Amino acid sequence: MDETLILPSFLQVVQAMAGQWRIILTEDLPISLLHFAIGLLGGVLVAMPIGMSMGWFKMMDRISDPLVELIRPIPPLAWIPFAIVWFGLTHESAGFIVFVGAVFPILINTYTGFRNLPKVYVESAKVLGCTSDRNLIRYVAFPFALPSIAAGIRIAMGIAWMCLVAAEMFGVSTSGLGYKIWLYYYLHKMDLVLLYMIVLGLVGLLLDRSFRYVVEERLLKWRVGLTQ
C-alpha cells in the first residue's frame, strides 16, 4: 500500500498548503464559518430564553423538561435526512445540524445557572425594591448565571464545530472544510485531507481562544479577583 495513503509526510502537507491556502481562505473557510455562525447564533437565541424560563418558572420547567430530555439524546447527525428534506443542500441545512449540536449545552447550562441562584439574593433584591420577575431576572438572576451560560456557549462551540464538519462531510453541504475532507478522501489525496484536518484544529483553537478572551478578559473581568 502507498505510504502516502497511510500518513502523508510533513513535506507533502507543506506542499499541499502552498498550493491550496488561497482556496482555503477564500472559499472553504468562509463557507464553514457561515454554517457555524448560523447554527451557533440560532442555538443561543433559542436556548437562552428557554433555559431562563425553565430555571425561573417551575411550571415551565415541568412542561418543558420531558420534551427537552426526549430530544436531547438524539445525535445531531440523525437529523441530517430531515435537514436535507426541509432545507435542501443549502447553508441553512448545514446550519441546522450545527444548531442541534449547540442548543442543548447552552440550554442546560442556562437552566443550571438560574436554578442555582441562592434564594437570599432574590429576597435581598425584593427588599431593595426589585419585585417584578422581569427586573429580578435582569438584575439578579441573569448576572449570577452568566458564568454558567458562558461555559455552556463554550462547550456548544466545540460540539457545533464537530457537527459542522460531520454535516458537510455527509452531504448536507456542497462546500466547506468538512466537504473537502470527504472529497479529497475519495480522490485519495491524503495530504490534502490531513491539511484540512490541521486547518480545522487551528480554526477551532482560534475560536475558543477568541471566545475566552472576550468573555473572561472583558465580559467577566470582575471574576478575576475571585479566581486568583
Give the helix/strand (H/E) hosting 138: none
Instruction: Supply the pLDDT for residue 58.
Output: 87
3-state secondary structure of 46: helix
Cell of 90: 443549502
Which amino acid is residue 7, in one-letter code? Answer: L
Instruction: Supply the pLDDT for residue 187.
Output: 84
Question: Is 183's pLDDT higher than 90?
Answer: no
Domain coordinates in residue numbering, the chain? 3-227
Question: Is 156's pLDDT higher than 90?
Answer: yes
Instruction: Supply the pLDDT for residue 102.
Output: 94
Of the candidate ranges 84-88, 129-133, 171-175, the one whose mean pLDDT is the lowest: 171-175
Instruction: Supply the pLDDT for residue 1.
Output: 44
pTM metric for this prediction: 0.86
Instruction: Supply the pLDDT for residue 189.
Output: 85
| Euclidean distance between CA atoms 132 and 141, whole angstroms | 12
The closest alpha carbon to 69, from 117, 111, 114, belongs to 111
Comparison of pLDDT for 171 and 166, the residue scoring more: 166
* pLDDT band (50, 70, 90) for residue 112: very high
Instruction: Supply the pLDDT for residue 97.
Output: 92
Of the candidate ranges 59-63, 115-119, 169-173, the one whose mean pLDDT is the lowest: 169-173
The closest alpha carbon to 113, from 151, 64, 71, 157, belongs to 151
Residue 203's CB: how many other CB atoms inside 10 A? Answer: 17
The answer to whether residues 97 and 160 touch, using CB atoms and an 8 Å cutoff, is no
Buried b (16+ CB within 10 A) or exposed e, 150-187: bbbbbbbbebbbbbbbbbbbeebbebbbbbbbbbbeee
The answer to whether residues 172 and 83 touch, using CB atoms and an 8 Å cutoff, is yes
Instruction: Supply the pLDDT for residue 48.
Output: 93
Rounded mean pLDDT of 111-138? Answer: 84
Question: Is 207's pLDDT higher than 80?
Answer: yes
Measured CA to CA in angstroms, residue 50 lies from 69, 75, 104, 107, 159 at distances of 13, 20, 10, 7, 20
Instruction: Supply the pLDDT for residue 10.
Output: 78
Give the CATH number of domain 3-227; options: 3.10.110.10, 3.10.580.10, 1.10.3720.10, 3.40.140.10.
1.10.3720.10
Residue 128's CB: how many other CB atoms inside 10 A? Answer: 9
* pLDDT band (50, 70, 90) for residue 221: low
| Euclidean distance between CA atoms 73 and 127, whole angstroms | 42
Instruction: Supply the pLDDT for residue 223.
Output: 61
CA dihedral 53, 55, 58, 60 (to 10 degrees): 30
| Euclidean distance between CA atoms 123 and 70, whole angstroms | 34
Give the helix/strand (H/E) hosting 219: none
What is the average pLDDT value for the chain, to the nearest integer? 85
Rounded mean pLDDT of 193-215? Answer: 90
